[in-house]
Amino acid sequence: GAAMSVGWQKLADLFWYRRREVYTATHWGDDPDRLHRSLVAGAPYGGPVATVRNEHVFQPLRGDVRPELQTWTSAGRLIASTPWAHTGLVAMGWSSQERLFCVFENGVVRTFSVMCEQLSAFTVDERIASEGGAVLTALWPNGVALLTRKHRLFVNASVMRSGDACQRLAELKGVTKTPLCICVLPPSSEDSGEIQVVVGTAEGPVLLVDRQDCRDLGLDEGPYVAFAVSPAGLLACLSESGVFKVLSVKDDFRVLDVASLECRKRPKQMVWCGDDCIALYLAIATPSDSMQHVLFVGGPKNDWIPYQYDTPVHLVSECDGFRILGPQKVEFVQRVPESVEAIYSIGNCDPPAMLCFAHERYEKGDVCAQESLRIIRDDLADAVATCIDAAQHEHDPANATALLEAAVFGRHFLNEPPDSARFIETCKNLRICTQLRKAPIEIPITVPQLERLGVQGLITRLAQRHKHLLAYRLGEWV
Assess whether pLDDT exceeds 60 at residue 191: no
Assess whether pLDDT exceeds 60 at residue 84: yes
pLDDT confidence bin for 62, thresholds 50/70/90 = low
Predicted confidence at residue 407, as pLDDT, reads 97
What mean pLDDT comes out for the span 66-90?
95
What's the pTM value of the predicted model, to 2 decimals?
Answer: 0.95
Predicted confidence at residue 10, as pLDDT, reads 94
Q: Which residue has the higher pLDDT, 56 or 121?
A: 121
pLDDT confidence bin for 347, thresholds 50/70/90 = confident
* Distances from the Cα of 159 to the Cα of 141, 143, 230, angstroms: 9, 5, 21
Q: What is the pLDDT of residues 354-401, one digit of tens each?
A: 999 999 999 999 888 888 898 999 999 999 999 999 999 999 999 999
Q: What is the pLDDT of residues 254-312, one digit of tens each?
A: 999 999 887 778 999 999 999 989 999 999 888 888 889 999 999 888 999 999 999 99
Predicted confidence at residue 470, as pLDDT, reads 96
* Distances from the Cα of 386 to the Cα of 73, 237, 353, angstroms: 33, 36, 9
Instruction: Name, in order, each residue with C-beta under 8 angstroms of 335's C-beta and a sequence gap of 6 or more.
Output: 15, 16, 17, 273, 274, 276, 277, 321
Respond yes or no on whether the N-terminal peptide bond of residue 205 is cis (omega within 30° of 0). no
Assess whether pLDDT exceeds 60 at residue 214: yes
What mean pLDDT comes out for the span 25-53?
90
Percent residues over pLDDT 70 in the chain = 97
Respond yes or no on whether the N-terminal peptide bond of residue 440 is cis (omega within 30° of 0). yes
* Distances from the Cα of 274 to the Cα of 131, 303, 318, 320, 335, angstroms: 37, 17, 6, 4, 8
The residue type of 78 is: L
Predicted confidence at residue 372, as pLDDT, reads 85
Predicted confidence at residue 2, as pLDDT, reads 60
pLDDT confidence bin for 19, thresholds 50/70/90 = very high
Element (H, E) at 471: helix 468-477
pLDDT confidence bin for 55, thresholds 50/70/90 = confident
What mean pLDDT comes out for the span 215-240?
94
CA atoms within a 13 Å half-sphere pointing along the CA-CB vector of 77: 13
Choice among 128-142, 189-203, 452-466 with the minimum mean pLDDT? 189-203
pLDDT confidence bin for 442, thresholds 50/70/90 = very high
Of 26, 5, 25, 27, give the one whose Cα is nearest residue 16: 5
Predicted confidence at residue 194, as pLDDT, reads 84
Find the radius of gyration of the CA atoms of the chain. Answer: 24
Predicted confidence at residue 1, as pLDDT, reads 60
